[in-house]
Structure 1
Amino acid sequence: MRLRPFRHASLLLTTLLVLLVASVCAPAQENRLPDIGSSAGTVLGPSQQAEYGRMLLAQLRHYGYVLEDPLVESWLQATGTRLAAVSDDPEQRFTFFMMKDRSINAFATLGGYIGMNAGLVLAAETEDEVAAVLGHEIAHVTQAHVLRGVERAQRDSIPILLAMLGAIAIAQSAGGNSADDASMAALASAQGLMAQRQINYTRSNESEADRIGIRTLSRGGYEPEAMASMFERMQSVSRTNQGGERERLPDYLKTHPVTTTRISEAKDRAERLSRDMVTTTTATPDAVRVERVRIDGVTVPEGLRVIDNPLLPSSLTLSGGLDAAPSREFGWARERLRVLSANTPDAAIREYDRMARAGALDDAQRYGLAVAHLRSGRGAEAATIFTGLLDRYPGDLWLDLGLAEADAHAGRAAAADRRFEALLERMPRNPAVAMGYADVLVTRNTAEAGRRAQAVLRPLLGANSGDPAFQRTFARASEIAGDPVRAGEAWAEAAFFGGREEQALVQLNTLKKRDDLDYYARARIDARIAQITPVVLELRRQGVRDPDLRRR
């Protein structure tokens, strides 16, 4: 059983989650006619939806449930964006984020914010299966299921909201086990009411999300069969856990029930889609890309060879089947998540030891073991594994970055700097490279290292301004570089995007009182105060207050 040391934080998080997204689970009436009279989309405008989604993500970060890692984030965002670009609403902006929890779950909420638990990735065998879940959640957004849920909740979900407000009041104003028990009772009552109202939602919206999700999966170049295989995998997990210490059902199945009929329908849709697709493989000296291509009205014979058509490039291969090579990056991401979601790095090492006793570790698992050694402070051991893997996969970003960090932890600063500088020259705007290098630099705690870290991070400030981990690193770099104003602004941004909006406002108002501000710095701070103030007022209206500030 995994330890949960922050029980009180878990309570507050659960309460906030239900408060903000309970309405997503409320059922919409099944409507087979064109949606002419629905007000979905007018209940909340796009900017309001995005702001509620941002607030939810900020609170999840505040309670420590979001897994902040630039490599994992980049992989997840790339996978999700690939699907979103071919969805029914490619103009919708999506934000994908990873949760630390090892339970199997994912959810969509307002503004295109989609969260996925680390446990779901660990349960998947291929990137296609992860993409299947993302495609399903994307469909919940593009088909306005979330907005329809909000519309219905505004009409008749007062009991749910009252229960949630009561749970928040208890959790914020009282302590001890009795408060926890009372809050959990309120949550159980509210969630029971939600579960009772869930049936129609699963029968109509879930079916539509499956149908649209499989189509999006196919359009994005993934195997449409992956949705059915992921459903079967989750069903298998639920049977394995029956009667054990863990819950009988994965969390995902509680809100997305899987039946034999649903699996059969997913298989049937996938089979029909597969008839119209082929797989293309494009190879370059550094990488191989496998994509599915629609061939409307064309039959591709089995065994088609590139040399049969001299107009095709020699690097292109076609096949009538869908036997794409597994994604190496998915393997790295899954094993990195195994380490980052473990209770401690040493616990992750013990997990790999158990896996090794059952059979030799594959390359992805060896990568995970190296990451675990790195995070436990064993830089030399990590470097040995990374070096061996780089011999097999030269130029791989995940391995190059890991070796650079391992060199730094092993005390080989010059070697680490050479590797980081080479990576920066190759990928100057890659967040994982920039943040990895900056993190190493700030540990040296010298003004020169701080200025170099600032220079490395500054080109990425615009694209990563909403990342609290990025802002914290930039704040620390600015501090040791002797730039207190920039440091203060960055700390405030880290607080804002980390769910401490009131603290961000206090920090900016304090920073504004400095005598050494120039015109531009004062203008930036004034503008940010004007932007954050309405957010804080809205949070207060909803009953969300910063407990640290209230105790002052």
Structure 2
Amino acid sequence: MKRFAVKKQLIKMSLFSIGLALSSTSLQANNALPDIGGNAFSTLTPDKEKQLGDVMMRQTKGQLPMVYDPLMDEYLNSMGNQMVAKAQDVKFPFRFYWVNDKNINAFATLGGNIVSHTGTLAVSDSESEFASVIAHEISHVTQRHIARSVEARSENGPLTLAGILGSILLATVNPEAGMAGIMASQGLAQQSAINFTRSNEQEADRIGIQLMADAGYNPYAVPEFFNKLAEKSRFANTQLAFLYTHPLSQSRVADSRLRAEQFPKRFVADSQDYTLVKARVMARYHYQTKDAQSYFLRKLAEPGGNTKANQYGLALTYFDDKQVEKADQIISKLRQQEPDNLFYIDAYTDILLAQGKAEQAMSMLEQHYLLKPNNQVITLNYANAALQGKAYRLAVHLLRNLLYYKNDIFLAYEMLADTYKAMEDYARYYEARADLYYQMAVYPKAIDDLNEALNHVGKNNTLENRRLEAKKKQWQTELNRLKRL
């Protein structure tokens, strides 16, 4: 689905405008924030950590260039939770996210939220290498490294949610300064922070290697990835972001090699989804369109390079370069071999819509929707086709059902707003926009749009007025409470 969801007007917030825009759980979930009183972070129970983690992640969505791509989202969460299923001491559900950033990095926040840069996948040479990074971050969470560091900081002075989040966001822009902010409590020496980080890294390596091996990945990929990072850093003008936030010593590399050698060597093939996701990243997030086109043409010309993933990647670059017929030729051949492949269905939907064939796209997607009614790739493409084909009521039905099943899908809120606008239903349009801002924790804009929605609701529609007023009051209460943390 060729739809870049992060509209510029939604992300023009200053990096440090944190105190005015923090959020909690989604509307359909339990909205109660933890009643933590006093120093909010002195003791973080798993329940408190989860709730605060959700607050932090929602704010992070409003500050970083998140990737809202259903295919990539499905892959990362499937792969990540495959390893979470093998982990010990899992206290809460995990959620995995992408940031559009070519730098190699990944980080975990409180409450099982893990974020990977697209650049981390782009530089990986195998699925096991990429899995090693995700397993490492999972281990940081299950071992409560972040929670313990927050508790340690709170013992040395006042600490606010905005301060912690600011450090995490800063870590993605200026990793050296950000990790100092996260790990070093006020008044402690920088060396103490580094030592604490190294201890955590060693433990996360140990647990992560076991975790990825149990999940069926190759543990030898860990020292291989470390060596790759060391080589890249050696020839770079500045140290890699990943190495700032995950210090890499020679002893750590050697230790990872020794731990990997405790497992038998075996060949672990990359999944097809990994190869297709990597092709998607290279085509749409790592290279400019023309450069990506050259990249895939070169890969296809190499011995053994004529793979489905490289063909798919080339098709995406043709489509993005408005060479729709060339893209159609490639995707049609791939669909003949695998008609139910979600990557090819997604690309073919874009092609049909670009050719003005919305009815044909809806007909195709209806059949897939009947088989997979809760799949976000199918549903979002179907709703997009319905929107383009002016079947607005169908689009609303699909999107509302999807949000009932999974209420944090950013693209669904954005598309719902577009649909209501096309229908000239401005009360629901402004409410959908408010929900979109709420998903990114931009409370002032969310409340402003609810007021606009109220202006378009008839005075005689008592129930609708009461519902919107109640939502506005709830959000204002959440914001006031979060400002006190």
TM-score scaled by length of structure 2 = 0.80
Work out which of the residue numbers 279, 283, 292 in structure 2 matches 1:335. Answer: 279
Query: Which of the numbers 243, 248, 254 marks the counterpart of 1:258?
Result: 248
Which residue among 409, 420, 427 is the counterpart of 2:372? 427
Q: Contact between 1:468 and 1:493, CA under 8 Å: does it hold in 2? A: no
Supply the distance in 2 between the matched residues of 1:92 and 1:410 (Cα, whole angstroms): 45
Distance change (3 Å), C-alpha of 1:164 and 1:146: closer
1:412 Cα offset (Å)? 3.0
How many angstroms apart in 1 are the aligned matches of 2:195 and 2:384?
Answer: 49
Q: CA deviation at 1:354?
A: 5.6
Kindly provide the CA deviation profile for residues 198-247 of structure 1, in whole angstroms up to 9, marking residues without a partner as x. 321233211111111112212222222222222222222223x334xxx3
Unaligned residue ranges in structure 1 (runs of 5+): 1-5, 21-38, 172-182, 276-320, 543-552
Quote how far apart the aligned CAs of 1:57 are: 3.2
Q: In the alignment, which residue of structure 2 is the partner of 1:270?
A: 260
Shift of 1:151: 1.1
Q: How far does residue 493 in structure 1 lie from its aligned partner after superposition? A: 1.1
CA contact (8 A) 2:46 2:92 kept: no
Q: For 2:405, what is the secondary structure of its paired residue?
A: coil
Q: CA deviation at 1:452?
A: 1.5
SS of alignment partner, residue 111 of structure 1 = coil
Task: Select which of 377, 393, 398 maps to 2:322.
Answer: 377
| CA shift digits 1:27-86 (9 cap, x unpaired) | xxxxxxxxxxxx998623445433443343334433451111011011111111111122
Q: 1:532 aligns with which of 465, 468, 475?
A: 475
SS of match in other structure, 2:107? strand
Report the counterpart of residue 316 of structure 1 in structure 2.
none
Shift of 1:190: 6.2
| Residues 300 and 310 in structure 2, CA contact (< 8 A), matched pair in contact too | no
2:261 match: secondary structure: helix
Partner of 1:200: 195
Check if 1:84 corresponds to 2:79: no
Matched, 1:73 2:73: yes
Structure 2: any 5+ residue segments left out of the alignment?
A: 1-7, 23-38, 185-189
- 2:98 match: secondary structure: strand
How far 1:350 sits from its partner (Å)? 4.5
Counterparts of 2:298 and 2:440, CA distance in 1: 36
Larger deviation: 230-239 or 134-143? 230-239
Q: Is the 8 A contact 1:164 1:190 kept in 2?
A: no
Deviates more, 1:427-436 or 1:98-107: 427-436
Alignment of 1:133-172 (within 5 A): 133-156=133-156
2:335 aligned to 390, 414, 423, which one? 390
CA, structure 1 residues 430+541, in 2 after alignment: closer, same or farther (shift >3 Å)?
same
Task: Name the aligned partner's letter for residue 123 of structure 1.
Answer: V
Residues 270-419 of structure 1 correspond to what in structure 2 (within 5 A)? 270-272=260-262, 274-275=263-264, 322-342=266-286, 344-353=288-297, 355=299, 360=305, 362-419=307-364
Deviation at 1:438, TM superposition (A): 1.7
Check conservation: 1:163, 1:189, Cα contact below 8 A: no
In structure 1, the residue matched to 2:394 is 452
Superimposed CA distance per residue, residues 100-123 of structure 1 (whole angstroms, 9 cap, x where no aligned partner): 001000011112111100010011
CA distance in 1, matches of 2:331, 2:437: 35
Q: Structure 1 residues 352-361 or 389-398, which shifts more?
A: 352-361
Distance 1:516 1:463, change over 3 A: farther
* Equivalent residue letter for 1:465: N
Q: 1:380 touches 1:407 (CA, 8 Å); kept in 2?
A: no
- SS of equivalent residue, structure 1 residue 461: helix
The 1:350–1:499 alpha-carbon spacing in structure 2 relative to 1, beyond 3 Å, is farther
Equivalent residue letter for 1:267: R
Pick closer, same or farther for the CA change 1:42–1:438 going to 2, 3 Å: same
Select the structure of larger CA radius of gyration. Answer: 1
Aligned CA distance change for structure 1 residues 355 and 63 (closer, same or farther; 3 Å): farther
Query: How far apart are the structure 2 equivalents of 1:517 and 1:233?
Result: 66
**In structure 2, what is the Cα distance between the partners aligned to 1:78 and 1:457?**
22
CA RMSD of aligned residues (A): 3.7
**Residue equivalent to 2:415:** 473
**Partner residue in 2 for 1:32:** none
Aligned to 2:35: none
1:533 and 1:442 map into 2 onto residues whose CA distance is 33
Provide the secondary structure at the position in 2 that maps to 1:90.
coil
Deviation at 1:141, TM superposition (A): 1.0
Q: Which residue of 471, 479, 504 corresponds with 2:446?
A: 504
Q: Larger RCO: Structure 1 or Structure 2 (Cα < 8 Å, ≥ 6 residues apart)? A: 2
C-alpha contact 2:149 2:183 (8 A) present in aligned 1? no
Identity %: 27
Q: 8 Å contact 2:283–2:317 — kept in the other structure? A: yes
**Is contact 1:112-1:141 (8 Å) kept?**
yes
Greater displacement, 191-200 / 411-420: 191-200
Check 1:16–1:413 CA distance in 2 against 1; reply closer, same or farther (3 A cut): same
Q: 1:344 Cα shift?
A: 4.5
The answer to whether the 8 A contact 1:135-1:214 is kept is: yes
CA distance in 1, matches of 2:209, 2:463: 50
Q: 1:355 to 1:49 in 2, by over 3 A?
A: same
Question: Would you say 1:58 and 2:1 are equivalent positions?
Answer: no
Aligned partners of 2:16 and 2:292: how far apart in 1? 26
Q: CA deviation at 1:144?
A: 1.3
Cα distance in 2, alignment partners of residues 207 and 267 from structure 1: 12
**Are positions 1:125 and 2:125 aligned together?**
yes
* Structure 2: distance between partners of 1:251 and 1:460: 36
Q: Distance in 1 between matches of 2:382 and 2:295?
A: 29
Secondary structure, aligned partner of 1:98 = strand
For each residue in 1:160-182, what CA deviation from the matched residue of structure 2 results, as whole angstroms up to 9, or x when unmatched?
Answer: 99999999xxx9xxxxxxxxxxx
Per-residue CA deviation, residues 315-370 of structure 1 (Å, 9 max, x unaligned), is xxxxxx63233211001111111233246544533443565677755321221222
Classify 1:166/1:107 alpha carbon distance in 2 versus 1 (closer, same or farther; 3 Å).
closer
* Superposed displacement of residue 145, structure 1: 0.8
Q: CA deviation at 1:377?
A: 3.4
**Whole-Å Cα distance in 1 between the matches of residues 52 and 182 of structure 2?**
24
With over 3 angstroms needed to count, the CA separation of the structure-2 counterparts of 1:123 and 1:473, relative to structure 1, is same
Structure 2 counterpart SS, 1:227: helix
- Secondary structure, in 3 states, of the residue corresponding to 1:258? coil
CA distance in 1, matches of 2:428, 2:162: 42
Normalising by structure 1, we get a TM-score of: 0.71
